[in-house]
Amino acid sequence: MLWAREVIIIVEDFDLEIPLYGAVIRSWDGSEYICDEEGSAIITVPADRQVSVQITYPGYETGRLVIPLIGSSFTLGLHLGSGIQSRELIIEAARPGVSETRTGRSVAISGETLERSSQIGIIEDVMTSIKLLPGVGYTGMFNALPSIRGGDPGDLMAVLDGFYVVNPYHWGGGFSIFDPHMISSAQLSHGIFSTRYGHTISGLLELSSRRVSIEHTELQLGISTSAVNLNAAIPIGGAGGLMLMGKVTYWDPFVWTLKQLNTVWDNETLQYINAVTTAPYIRSTASSFNYRINSNLEVRANAFLGFDGAGADYYNVSPDTALVQSSSHMVMNWDNIQTFFISGLTFNPFPKMVLNANLGFGYEQTKVDANFLYDYLRVYDTGSGGRTLRYELGGEHLDSFMMGTQSAFNIQGRIDLDYEIGNGFFIAGGLQELFSNDSSESDGKFFLERRIRGPYPLPPLPPIIQAGEERFIRYPVYGNMGEASNKRFNTSAYLLSEYFSPGNRFGAELGLRSDHLYFLGDGFTIQTMPVLNPRLNLDFNLLRNRWIAESVDLTLGTGLFSSMNNAIADISLDDKIGDFVLKPNRSWTSVIGLRTDFTGGWSFNIEGYFKYVFNRAYQYQLQEPGTEQFNRVFRFNSDGLIYGFDLMLQRLESRYIDGWLSYTFTHAKYYIPEWPSWRRPWETIEYGWYFPGYHRFHNLNTVVNFKPLRNFNIYTRFGLASGRPMAMVGEITSYEIEVWDENGPVLGEDGKPLVITRYNRDAFYSDDSRTTWSIPLDVKFSYLMFNPVNRVRTELYIAIENLLSLVYVAQANTSFNQYTGQENTGSDSANYELPVPMVSVGIRWSF
């Protein structure tokens, strides 16, 4: 009893969340405790090791709960027995590498917390929850690509059950493919995470697929104003199960409503909704299978198939009184397909050894077809004599189009071995191979403006622009805008060792990871040097069970990370990149974290970090001296300095109120040593240090879940985010430019080259120029019902996203008409949000 402590166990009905008065708790030492009318009992457990307790209640399945070393209150929900008594629901220890919150490494979200924060709004998305966690930059509603602790948004790597999902997004990044119904837990690793994973210098999103209950079949149907979800979980032989999921969105009613609103509300942003002919859609299906062949061997598989797209067909004729009159027709279609298949097994050849193996493939293809057609464009002058036509352009000088296809295929496999040596020591190692084949092609017509100095063209062709003469021209560019097909072989290996002292007073994790890329292009190869990424974490338990603090833990960590971004996906032979010139992006990151767990289910975590980014890839176009030829140049020498801190105050699974508050401060600047000179584009200059366009200094999120009644829930999330970098702009000025076609200058009615007047506004970078703050507010009201006879759980809900948009939208620079110079009233939205709240109403049945 000298090393004992008291904990509170609360027993409740899993579906109704009502206390089970009289439930019996059989402790580790054979002692029995009876729960009071609140379903709670105080029991005594050892303070130096984990123990398990067994819980029984008439008519319910027997439950077993593992009491960890940290925490003073635990809740277990029992399922109705369905006539089968004395069956145990066992909560097993997690496999190595699954989702868990660890200071200095990661923050995890699962269970009801994940459901409440992600199952909201017009598209239910796990990334909606991730964007509320500490260390994550605000992006807005229609952007699932956040910056993680100042890193590039595209560098966030997603892993589903050990499989790298390279581009897990619908609508080009608007939402992720991870439906909350297919995910049981999500872990954002933005600190010094394990060497098990790589291919990122910013953040790792680890997701675990939902597993089927081996006891009973489950069916869930959800219908809302924008989507239908159907999920079925079927047990197989009492040792596994199959889960099938499907989602179909229908935004047609929502688009129709906005079009009607636009007829009575003159809003510039809202006017674009008139162009929509095919409402944005998502059609996806997923499956998950797991089966335990025996006590030592389990097999699993996951599959996903998704389609998304949108279409627009917009015909516009300007009114006769306008100074700029045009007749235009825009047609655009976007279609995307994505699929992957994952297979794996977990094998325990010995009680202290675990072998994990995974093999899978993925494919995605995106097609874009856009046409912008004009019948005419007329620009008028106004004066005392009325309007006079300044000039008119036909469609042949304005029409443009773009057709493009991008596809990517990957095959990957990995094998991981974990072994417990004993006395607190643990080792692991693994091999991984990720093969990818990226291809792209595009065709189109667009217009460029540039200043040309004669003689042009060069001899022996007759000159149009004489030597010493300079003209500013606007001319069309036709043809193939790029075509590439490249293959990449990413080979990785890692070793990992961990130690935990008795009672978890001290822990250490030391790992080494090696990553190597071999690039196989069309007619060329590129060899790279392998990179080594050592990582170290030290964990200290400073005190335990003192006053209101159940535990205070300190973590120190440092390590190296590497990744290959998409900037190198379309490298060609013409880029002339030799062996060992191509380098992966690298970062050296250090973290210090302090976490305190309090009584009553409260916890507070604060972490400070520093990142040095180096060997960062970028590209630019450099003109060949004395010619009009431009060549693409790759460089791998960009740097970055990032530092900041984030904190999280959290209370989970309380009877009346729970949630969390997170705050993030980030200072992230990047350095580009060379960039083409604006006035002499054949020479390079130092670009210098800059804040990237996605950077925000401050991000605050408050997530509160009110439960005034057991069957009524009010979920709110409120945020504050400081502005993003915004260009400093000058006065709107006019300039004259010659109109050319593929044959040279276009002649006016006077037989001379046609010169038109256009307007421009100088823009330049400034550290001090930013958009205004963003203030998102979302609310969801849920009413829950449960029928114990047929075990059907019903949820009725109404959700309102972007609630404050009617009175406030973050502002950026104004726009202006390039043909008249007239500045548009108001300001452009800084986040491309719709200026109306997004309302969704739905019902969900679970059986």
d(CA 806, CA 778): 13
d(CA 200, CA 563): 5
Note the pLDDT tens digit of each residue in 416-462.
999 999 888 999 999 999 999 999 888 999 888 888 877 777 677 67
Characterize the bridge pairing of strands 88-90 and 838-846.
unpaired
Q: How confident is the model at residue 414 (pLDDT cuts 50, 70, 90)?
A: very high
Q: Do 552 and 596 form a contact (C-beta atoms < 8 A)?
A: yes
d(CA 643, CA 641): 7
d(CA 64, CA 76): 8
Characterize the bridge pairing of strands 227-236 and 169-170.
unpaired
One-letter amino acid for residue 833 of the chain: E
Percent of the chain topping pLDDT 90: 48
More confident residue, 355 or 225: 355
- State the DSSP string of 315-383: EEE--TT-SEEEEEEEEEEEEEEEEEEEEEEEEEEETTEEEEEEEEEEEEEEEEEEEEEEEEEEEEEEE
Note the pLDDT tens digit of each residue in 478-492.
877 667 789 999 999
Note the pLDDT tens digit of each residue in 591-605.
999 999 998 889 999
Q: Do 633 and 617 form a contact (C-beta atoms < 8 A)?
A: no
User: Collapsing DSSP states into helix, strand and coil, what is residue 102?
Assistant: strand
Q: Do 336 and 307 form a contact (C-beta atoms < 8 A)?
A: yes
What is residue 276's predicted lDDT score, i.e. its pLDDT?
64
The listed range with the strongest mean pLDDT (331-345, 729-743, 788-802, 832-846) is 331-345
- Taking alpha carbons only, the member of 407, 412, 408 closest to residue 360 is 412
Residue 6, beta-bridge partner list: 44
What is residue 93's predicted lDDT score, i.e. its pLDDT?
43
- Taking alpha carbons only, the member of 766, 791, 806, 798 closest to residue 846 is 791
Residue 16: pLDDT above 80?
A: no
Dihedral angle over CA of 601, 507, 203, 604, nearest 10: 20
Q: How confident is the model at residue 164 (pLDDT cuts 50, 70, 90)?
A: very high
57-61, Cβ contacts within 8 angstroms, sequence gap of 24 or more: 57/11, 57/20, 57/22, 57/23, 57/24, 60/13, 60/20, 61/87, 61/88, 61/89, 61/215
91-100, 553-562, 673-682, 783-792 — which is least confidently predicted?
91-100
d(CA 418, CA 500): 15
Note the pLDDT tens digit of each residue in 712-766.
999 999 999 999 999 999 899 999 999 998 888 888 888 888 999 899 998 889 9
d(CA 364, CA 432): 21
d(CA 745, CA 735): 17
Residue 204: pLDDT above 50?
A: yes
Please provide the distance, in angstroms rounded to a whole number, between the alpha carbons at the two ends of the chain: 45
Q: Do 551 and 103 form a contact (C-beta atoms < 8 A)?
A: no
What is residue 614's predicted lDDT score, i.e. its pLDDT?
96
**Residue 4, Cβ neighbours under 10 Å: how many?**
10
What is residue 312's predicted lDDT score, i.e. its pLDDT?
79
DSSP label at residue 112: H
Q: pTM for this structure?
A: 0.84
- State the DSSP string of 370-416: EEEEEEEEEEEEEETTEEEEEEEEEGGGT-EEEEEEEEEEEEEEEEE
Mean pLDDT of the region 103-117: 84
Report how many helices (DSSP H) and strands (DSSP E) the chain contains, helices first.
Answer: 3, 45
What is residue 330's predicted lDDT score, i.e. its pLDDT?
85
Residue 446, beta-bridge partner list: 477
Note the pLDDT tens digit of each residue in 685-700.
999 999 999 999 999 9
Dihedral angle over CA of 231, 235, 241, 245, nearest 10: -10
The listed range with the strongest mean pLDDT (83-92, 103-112, 274-283, 511-520) is 511-520
Q: How confident is the model at residue 2 (pLDDT cuts 50, 70, 90)?
A: very low
Note the pLDDT tens digit of each residue in 298-325.
999 999 999 998 887 777 888 887 888 8
d(CA 101, CA 831): 31
Mean pLDDT of the region 268-278: 62
Note the pLDDT tens digit of each residue in 36-82.
888 888 888 887 677 778 898 887 878 888 787 777 788 888 887 64
Note the pLDDT tens digit of each residue in 121-163.
788 999 999 999 999 999 988 899 999 999 999 899 999 999 9
Q: How many CA atoms lie within 13 A of 722 on its CB side?
A: 14
Percent of the chain topping pLDDT 70: 92
90-94, 125-129, 823-827 — which is least confidently predicted?
90-94
What is residue 96's predicted lDDT score, i.e. its pLDDT?
43
Residue 774, beta-bridge partner list: 721
Which uninterrupted H or E stretch holds 642? strand 630-651
Q: Do 542 and 554 form a contact (C-beta atoms < 8 A)?
A: yes
Which uninterrupted H or E stretch holds 128? helix 126-130
DSSP label at residue 21: T
Residue 427, beta-bridge partner list: 419, 497
Sheet holding 163-165, edge to edge: 106-110, 183-189, 204-209, 157-160, 163-165
Q: How confident is the model at residue 827 (pLDDT cuts 50, 70, 90)?
A: low
The conformational region for residue 828 under phi > 0 = left, psi -120 to 50 = alpha, else beta, is beta
